[in-house]
Structure formats: C-alpha cells, structure tokens
Amino acid sequence: MALNLLIGQTLGFTGDPFQQPWQEVTEHRRDGAVLVEDGHIRAVGTRANLSVKYPQATVTDYGEDLIVPGFVDAHVHYPQTAIIASWGKRLIDWLNTYTFPEEMRLSDPNYAAEIAERYLDIALSHGTTTMASYCTTAPTSVNAYFEAAAQRGMRVVGGKTCMDRNAPEGLIDTTQRAYDESKALIDTWHCKGRAVYAITPRFSPTSTPEQLDALGALWAERPNCLMQTHLSEQTEEITWVRELFPTTRDYLDTYAQHGLLGARGVYGHAIHLEPCEIDQLAEVGASVIHCPTSNMFIGSGLFDLMGLAKAKVGLGLASDIGGGSNFSMLRTMAAAYEVAQLRGAAPHPAQLMWLASEGSAHALHLQGKVGHLGAGAEADLCVLNLKSTQAIEQRSHNANNFWEALFPTIMMGDDRAMRQVWVAGKPL
C-alpha cells in the first residue's frame, strides 16, 4: 500500500484536558509529521524521524499549517440543511413552522439524496468528517444519508427519527413501525463499512410511552447501537414533559423508565438539568452534547460546560444543524467559548479543540477510531491554515505562543481555514 507522509504542525491529545491539566495531555509539534497508509494513521512523530524511517513515502508538505483530526459533530439534523438560519422561533414553534414541513419532503428519495449530499459536502468543506445525524421518520431519509456517506468514504452515525404523537400526520409513526423499520435499518447499515446506527426517538414529547418502551426493547436487543435523543433543551419543553409524563421524577426519567438510559446514550442539549439527572448521567456513563450556536439562536439557555465536566459527565460538541446557525465546528467552538464566558469561565483552546474531536468521538463511542491523531486511528484529517484571512493572520503574527496563534482561527475561522481535508486516508 502507498505511504503518504504529511508534514506540518500537529496537535493531538493523550487524555482529557477537562479532567487533567491541559499541559499534560496535549502534544503539539511544530515540526510534526503524520504517516498515512491504507486509510489509517500508521505513525505520528517529527518530520526528521519519519522522513528517515519511511523514505519511500510520498511527502505532502503543508508548511506551517496545522494537521489535526477531522472534526466530529455529535448532534445534527441533516434534513434541516435547507432551513438553516430561519427567523425567529422558539423550539416548539421552530419544529412546527420549519422543521416538520421540511422533514416531510424527505420521504421523496430523490430529495432526500439531494439534501444528504448537500449536507455532507458542506460539512466536509468545513473540516467535519464524522457526524451523528437524526434523519426523518421515513426510511428513505436514512438510506439516503448512509448511501451518500458511503460514497464519500465517511464514518457517520445516524438513525430513523421516531415519533408517534404531537407531530404532523405526514411524519407520524406507530410503535410497531418505529420498532420494525429501525430494526431493519440496523440490519442494513449498522457496522457496514463505516456506518454506525443510533436508535433515535426524537424526544419524549413526540413519543408515547409505548413507543419509548419498544425502542428501549430494541436497544436491549441491539446494545452495540447508540441511542440518541434530546434532553432539557428549553424550560417550556420541560414543563410540557411534566404534563405528558406526570409520574416520572424528571425529564431524564422519561427515558430511564423505558430502557433508554445507558452508557451508549447520547443526549443533545441538556441545558436545564436537575442535580439528580447530572448524577445519574455520570453514574451510567452517558454523554451530553453541547449545541451552543443552536442554544443561542433559539434562545434555549447557557449550557454548563465546566460544571458538567467537573461532574464527570461525558461531553461532546455539535453544530445542531439546522437549529444551529453555522456548519463550522470552528464557529461552534467559538460559541462554546462565548457561552462559557457568560457562565464565568474561559475554556482553554486545547479544551475546545479536544471537545470538537476526541470529546465528541468518545461521546459517540468512536474513540481511537476518529477524532484522534495517533497510530491506528482512521485517517480522517483536517489541515488548518492559521492565517486564512487578513484579520486572523495579523493576530496570529503577533502571537506569543502556539495557543495564541491558534485561538484566532477558533474564534474567527470558517471554511477558508480548511487547507485540506482527508477522509479514510484520501485527500479531498
């Protein structure tokens, strides 16, 4: 197999910078090199060492550009690509006004394919190589997503969204259909190539207890699948959940009582959590996903990044397209920084970069496969130009150290910062 040696600055992690001092778990090399072979990273080291050890490798020299793992977006709704940046609604109004009408269109396989391909191409242009997406209740939308990802060689997570109440007739499932169609899609896609299936109840208000029971039973039958849903995004949503599930202790309990709480559970938003919910999430090893641009755009609230990290709850980061207002994980990191500042903390650039790669990969149980710059990982890579615009370049030029040079790209970067994206060991 051909060897490709990528030369540039490199940044990787050996641990979680939220749980250990970031200085102890970061590996930045100014003279870095990454050896790629057969779709995987074979070695990471210095230019001098790897050039001597592998003289037969084809060299791509990125100069001062920074080689990092491809970004991992842990919570998106690819069917909402066409309605991103729609004006002025709270969550429930957003769903009824924009989301549900658009999602009904994806029952058409041609339209589903068009949107899936558009979304994946936009994501890749921003350096996102893996994502976990909700599809619609139509299996056509799931097939379109996984097929488009397979054509691009991408590792992705996805699942059929399940709803049997409080949604338009054109999107309503039944309990039996949700179970049967999800099971058939698992058999078709899960662990086939680079596809990972997530059992996907949208959120408790759109599923009856019977449907939640059925999906919990399916997860028990297929425990190596993920399970993704929403949790405590807005206060009025939580009030609605209390009305719909009067016998449950809290929002998280609506999942726990139906077998939908576990280590492979991925819970989006999780802004307004009760202390007992935080404790339970940490105890079972579940992960919550921070969606900062969405939370601000729809007015949901301020996620407690540092508090949840202190509580040792698993963390990931996400654009939440299309409630989220930007496809870029750089902009998502910037928003996470801004939200944390409003809560009185300033995450270090190392923590933000970890969250958008290693952290999200861990949340999706893909650690060591994606989001990681180390031997054996799949070679999904992003090469960042740290001087992509005049404003970024002038700030980077005046930086006193590497982190000061990187931070302007986190705060102001966009797709122009993407010098190159590699997927499965191939440059796009």
| Domains of the chain (ranges, CATH numbers) | 3-70+371-427 (2.30.40.10), 71-363 (3.20.20.140)
pLDDT confidence of 92, banded at 50, 70, 90?
A: confident
pLDDT confidence of 115, banded at 50, 70, 90?
A: very high
Query: Token pair of 280, please?
Result: 């339970």
Q: Which of 60-64, 100-104, 147-151, 414-418 has the lowest mean pLDDT?
A: 100-104
Q: What percent of the chain has pLDDT over 70?
A: 100
pTM of the model: 0.97
pLDDT of residue 94: 80
Contact 215, 207 (CB under 8 A): yes
Q: Read off the pLDDT of each residue in 120-138 and give the average, rounded to a whole number.
A: 98
178-194 pLDDT, tens per residue?
A: 999 999 999 999 999 99
pLDDT of residue 331: 98
Beta strands in 183-333 (DSSP E): 195-201, 226-231, 265-269, 287-290, 314-317
Query: Token pair of 309, please?
Result: 């990290």
342-370 pLDDT, tens per residue?
A: 999 999 999 999 999 999 999 999 999 99
Is residue 153 pLDDT above 80, yes or no?
Answer: yes
What spatial distance separates the first Cα and last Cα of the chain, rounded to whole Å?
19
Q: Read off the pLDDT of each residue in 395-417 and give the average, rounded to a whole number.
A: 97
pLDDT of residue 183: 98
**What values do phi and psi take at 257, rounded to 5?**
-70, -15
Mean pLDDT of the chain: 97
pLDDT of residue 1: 65
pLDDT of residue 87: 86
Q: Which of the pair, 87 or 14, is modelled with greater confidence? A: 14
Using CA atoms, how far apart are residues 216 and 210, in angstroms rounded to an integer? 10
368: which strand partners? Answer: none
Is residue 124 pLDDT above 90, yes or no?
Answer: yes
Q: Which of 41-45, 115-119, 320-324, 338-342 has the lowest mean pLDDT?
A: 320-324
pLDDT of residue 13: 98
